[in-house]
Structure 1
Amino acid sequence: MLTITDLSLQRGGVWLLEAVNLTIQPGQRVAIVGANGAGKSSLFQLLLGQLAPEQGSASLPGGCRIAHMAQEVAASSRTARDFVLDGDYDLRRMESELAD
């Protein structure tokens, strides 16, 4: 379960989150929507350990995964579909085995 406790996050002098509390239970699916600059990417950076909050905490138990795709990626000759599917290592391994 993802637990966010009393979380506050500020970027560039602007408060994106203030004293937020949230619990997402196993099996629940959520969507994060908001205007540009609302803090969606910053929240994911925080959950991935790439950013620290001003206060509070976010915790995931061991074995949990967060599926995400970087907002910007390096130029590539691969299609967007292949780029996304390449992230599923088991799928690509099975496809390779089937091809052999």
Structure 2
Amino acid sequence: MSAAGWFIVLLALAGANLPFLNQRLLGMVPLRAQKKSVWIRIAEMIVLYFVVGAFGFMLEARAGNRFDQGWQFYAITFSLFVVFAFPGFTWQYLVKRRPA
């Protein structure tokens, strides 16, 4: 696997966890609410999936060998993106924190 391929995998790992590791919209825009709702986090994951996918397609096109993809490709890559989000989900919702 090329360096660009590994870069996309690491970018997907970071992008999948970003919604769960902060309370800002897409990691940049502060929200009024104290905590983001799970629906906002899911919407962020979907947006970041497409951002990472577009970046991957750009790198693939620059390499000169862009391939057509069917629905199976998108189903598998989105499933992988959701699996990549597991550490952030675990940190946000399953780890018990002591009250300060």
Q: TM-score, normalised by structure 1?
A: 0.25
Higher strand share: 1
Which protein has greater RCO, CA pairs closer than 8 Å, 6+ apart? Answer: 2
Higher helix share: 2
Larger Cα-atom Rg: 1
Q: TM-score, normalised by structure 2?
A: 0.25
